[in-house]
Each structure stands twice: as C-alpha cells, then as structure tokens.
Structure 1
Amino acid sequence: MGCYFQGPIPSSFSNLTYLTSLNLVESNLNGSIPSSLSNLQHLTHLDLSGNRLKGSIPSSFSNLHHLTYLDLSSNRLGGQIPNVFDRLTNLQTLFLQNCGIQGPISSSFSNLTYLTSLNLMRNQLNGSIPSSLLNLHHLTHLDLSWNEISGQIPNVFDRLTNLQTLSLSGCSLLSLESETSVNYTFSNLEELELLSNNIIGYSKFSGNFPKLEYLDLSNNKLAGKSKYVNSQV
C-alpha cells in the first residue's frame, strides 16, 4: 500500500466536501497536517499513517464530528496530545502510536465513549494512567506500551469490562514492593502484555482472567506462585 507521493498534503482536498473516506497511508507525504482537512465534515475514515508529517494535530479537527476512524500513527508529530478529541465523540478507533507525542495522556479521551480501540504505544507519554479512561466502557483494545508512564494500574481499571487486549509493556508501571496486593477481574480479557515492567513477585499481583489466552510477564522480578484464578495460562 502507498502511492509514493512527495510533498505536503494538497490543499485542494479541502474542496472534496462530500468525501467520507480518505486513505493516504505510506504515501511519503511530509509537511504539516493541513487545517483545511477540517472542511471535510462528512469524513468518517481518515488514515494518514506511515508518512513523514510533522507538527501538531490541527485544532480545527474538532469539527470532524462524523469521524469514526482516525489513524495518524508512524509520523513525526511531536508535542502533546491536543484537546481536539473533546468533540470527536463518534470516534471508535484512534491510532496514535509511534508519533513522538509527549506529556500526559489527555483527559479529553474521556469523551470518546464509543471508542473501541486506542493505541498510543511507542511515544514519550509520561505521568500516570488517568482515571478518565474508565469512561471508555466500549473499549476492547488498549495499548499504552513503551512509554514513560509511571505509577500503578488504577485499582478500578477492571471496570473496562469489554477489554479483550491490554498492553502496558515497557512502562515501569507496576512497582509493587509494598505490602499492598493488587487483584483484578477482567472477565473478557484474552491478551495481557506486561513485559519489561517492574512487577515484584506473583503474590502482589493476581487476578481473575477466565478468558485469557496469551500472557507475557517476561523481564520482570517474579518469584513464588502465581494467583491467576480461573485463567487458562
């Protein structure tokens, strides 16, 4: 896939006001994401992944109210996650992995109540996992891996009852050296990746994962017996 274009995204696209889907994946595009794309207010699907786009996500993107799929992954955007997502309330899929974005995970994601897939892996995100993510009750796939996130998984994280895949690898998330044990119940979780964190001992991290098919806890500081109740691992 990819058309091997060169140069910026043409401003003439802004005239395609009835366009519903725009796919420019791996097309060797550079420059910034033009704010004129916000004229495409019938757009439901936008994929600009795998290019060399720089700069921030235009604030005018908040006008794309019908957008259900947005993929800006593998570009060179940088900066923090903007608050444009406050109004993109129909989004179901959001891919922002490997974009060079920094700062905390945006609280504006809490408005994306129809979101089913969120991928923010391989950025420079920091801070803790915000409790606002608990509003995403339809979420089935969440990947926050290989960021600079610290702290612990929120104790009520398992309220995301539809979650099927969860990857938090490479974040130094779990520093469970205290006497506090953590127990989670993920009723639909099928894949759990927690490699290269700082999990100290099985006895401090346990849970009920009845549908779990894949579990990766490699490169941690594990010892003792695990307590994965009713799991298949």
Structure 2
Amino acid sequence: MKTLPFLVSLFFLFSCFLSLVFSLDDLPMQCLDYQRSSLLQLQHDLYYSPNFTFSSKFELWDVKTDCCWWEGVTCDAFGHVIGLDLSYKNISGSFDSIFDLHHLQHLNLAGNNFNTTLLSYGFDKLPNLTHLNLSSSCFHGQIPVKISFLTRLVSLDLSNQDDCYRIYYHFLDPHNGIYDDDLLPYELQRPLKLENPDFKTLIKNLRNLTELNLDGVDISFHSIKWCKTTSLVLSKLQVLRMSNCGLKGPLCSSLSKLAFLSKLFLGGNPISSLPPNFLEISSRLVSLSLANCGLSGYFPTEILLLPKIQSIDLSANYDLMVEFPEFPSSSALRILSLSGTYFGGKVPESIASEAELRIKELAKSFMPAIFWILCI
C-alpha cells in the first residue's frame, strides 16, 4: 500500500515538470541585455546606402521596445537571438557586432551594398549557425576559411555578388548605357573567389549541407576535382547551384553518390560532356540547368522522360541536338528551354494534345529555338 502514495507523488511531480516545459513556449520572449547591446551596436555601425551612396543612418529598430520583437530578429525562449534577417535593406557599413550573437542559427544579409571583403569577419564565432545567406550583397575577394568552421551549416548561399557591381557600373555611366561584361575587369565579373582556401578546403567540414549556392563565385583555381570532391564530401546535398564558376568538365560519374540531389544548376561552365551514367544521376532530379556548357552531340532523350523532372534548360549549347520523344500523359516536365540548340523531328502529338500543357514559342524543326512547356 505504501507504493500507491509514492506513485501518486511521482505522477504529480512529472505532471508539474511537463507543465513547466510546455509553458516555456508560452512565455513572452525578453531580450537579454548583452544581446540587445550587440544589436544596438550593429544598428549604429550600419547605414542606408542605395546605389552605393551614403543616405542616412540605419534606424530600423525602436530602442524603446524589446529587441526580440524588432523586425528581422528572432529569439528563443531564453532571450538569445537565434535569427537575424536584414536582407534587401540597402544597407552598408560594418557588421562586426553580429559575431557577438553566439547563439545565432540563421543569418541573412542578402541583397545589400556592403562593397567589402569578408576576411575580417569572425564567422568562426557563430558555431551554431545552420543557415548563412550573403548573396547579392557586393562582397568581393577571397572567401574566408572561417566559413569552413561552420560545421552545422545546412544552407550556404554566397551567390550573385556580380549583380550589384553591374548595377553600380550602370549607375555611374553618364549616358546610362549598358556595359558589356567582356569590358568589365575580371574581378568584377566574379567578385568572390576561392583560391586559398580552395573549394575543397571550404567544403571539407560542411558535411551537413543540403543546399549550396555559389553561382558567380570564381572556383577556377584548382577546380579540376571539384566534381569528385563534392560527391565525396556533401553526401546530404539536395540543391547544388554553381553556375558561371569557371568549373572544368567533364562531369564526373561519382555525382551518382549524391542520393538526395534534386536540383542541379551548372550553366555557364565548360562542362563539354556528360558521364555515361548521367541518366542514373539525373533520375532523381526535379530541375536541371546545363545552359551554355559547350555540350555537343545528342542529348539523352531518356532524361526528358524521367518521371520527376519538371524543368530542363539546355539553351546556348550550339552544337547540341535534342530529339523529342513521345511524352506520356504522366510526364511532370513543364519547362524545357532549347534556345540556341538544335532539335530534331516533329513536335509529338502528346505535347500538343495534353490539356494541361501549351506551347508558348516554337521555331521550325532543326532550327535554334526557344521551346517552353508551361503549366497553364
């Protein structure tokens, strides 16, 4: 009989513990003082800079309110800042204070005008970071080795730094003309680069990555083994974007080891040819872009018939021939771009008759064409 009161007491204590745990989610978040100080210092060091010109101090946050409720700031139940999103704010200046937010998991500075290098920033001080987005923010120079220390990263986006430099040159042009990319200095065509560390050094510890976007980053230095390195190290990868990176081909057959890869974008690199087992690699793909990759010969027709593929871009491969198969009604393909390629045979009736598909633009057979299959 003595065990019954004991069990009742134990059940009561367990119930209290559960109530305490679940109540944490209901507690109002209150920013910790030192976290607030770091954010205020950050606001002091930043300023609005549309079109690379100083405009005004950055005053996004109301200092009279709790910092956990500030725009772009996310806190956990204990008042630690775990998310900071300052994307597309037209800001410039220093963001050193961010690296005092040691609990940070998500950092997004995309779409800004920093116009600086990344070498002086302490990315290694953010060991909990899982998502880092620095795309289209006018960074240039060497990608720092400290980013390779972020072993918990799931998503890394350093892409398209050249976009804002093109805007900058357009803005400075007194005639408001359009600059030819060939006339721009090489470092402005690909502002970010991987030399020391090289690509292998950057990713060797980032084994948790599921998404990697390096579009426009110069990886031409020691890039011969980029494909094999990616296949061996980034086994969890789902999305790989490395367009216009100066990669050397051909693609390696070991890409088939990326069992979760669903999106592959490699346009603008001299890939030249596909491995014999590319059909095996692409069988899991939803989106594929090999535009302007110097491909020639016949493109494997079977890839157009894969059950999961929804989007294929083969444009600007001027020596590539694509022959249309008879598409089944169950085909998932919705976008097929063949601008600047050759395609043979007549348009299958399955395309023309399929109720949910329509042809937007199609030139004559065997002529360079833009061919889109779009969902109505």
- Report the TM range for the smaller structure's normalisation: 0.7 to 0.9
User: 1:133-152 CA distances to partner (integer Å, 9 max, x unpaired)?
Assistant: 12212211111012222222
> Which residue of the other structure, out of 279, 284, 288, is the alignment partner of 1:188?
284
Contact kept in structure 1, 2:194 and 2:218, CA below 8 Å: yes
Please list the CA deviations of residues 30-88 of structure 1 after superposition, one character each: whole Å capped at 9, or x if unmatched. 13442x42221100010111111111254521121111111000012111222223321
- Corresponding position: 1:52 with 2:148: no
Question: More strand per residue: 1 or 2?
Answer: 1
- Structure 2 regions of 5+ residues with no counterpart? 1-45, 50-56, 60-66, 68-74, 162-190, 334-376
The 3-state SS of whatever aligns with 1:215 is strand
Q: What residue number does 1:73 align with?
A: 135
**Residue 297 of structure 2 corresponds to residue 201 of structure 1:** yes
- Aligned to 2:219, the other structure's residue is in SS state strand
Which letter does structure 2 place at the counterpart of 1:149?
L
Moved more, 164-173 or 121-130: 121-130
Give matches, 1:28-43, under 5 Å: 28-34=90-96, 36-43=97-104
- Say if 2:99 and 2:125, in contact at 8 Å, map to a contact too: yes
- Compared CA separation, residues 33 and 219, structure 1 to 2 (3 A): same
Q: SS state of the match for residue 48, structure 2?
A: coil
Which one has the bigger helix percentage?
A: 2
1:211 matched to 2:302? The reply is no
**Aligned mates of 1:59, 1:130 — CA distance in 2:** 29
Give unmatched runs, 5+ long, in structure 1: none
Match of 1:152 among 240, 250, 253: 250
CA distance in 2, matches of 1:66, 1:132: 25
Q: CA deviation at 1:224?
A: 6.8
User: Which residue number corresponds to residue 121 of structure 1?
Assistant: 215
The residue aligned with 1:139 is 237
Distance in 1 (CA, whole Å) between partners of 2:322 and 2:135 is: 39
Does the 8 Å contact 2:227/2:255 carry over to 1? no
Question: Which structure has the higher relative contact order (CA within 8 Å, separation 6+)?
Answer: 1
Q: For each residue in 1:186-209, what CA deviation from the matched residue of structure 2 results, as whole angstroms up to 9, or x when unmatched?
A: 342111110111111126898695
Number of residue pairs the alignment of both structures matches? 220
Q: Partner of 1:101 in structure 2?
A: 192
2:110 partner amino acid: S
CA displacement, residues 106-126 of structure 1 (integer Å, 9 cap, x when unaligned): 222132122111111123332
- Alpha-carbon deviation of 1:24? 0.9
The structure that has the greater radius of gyration is 2
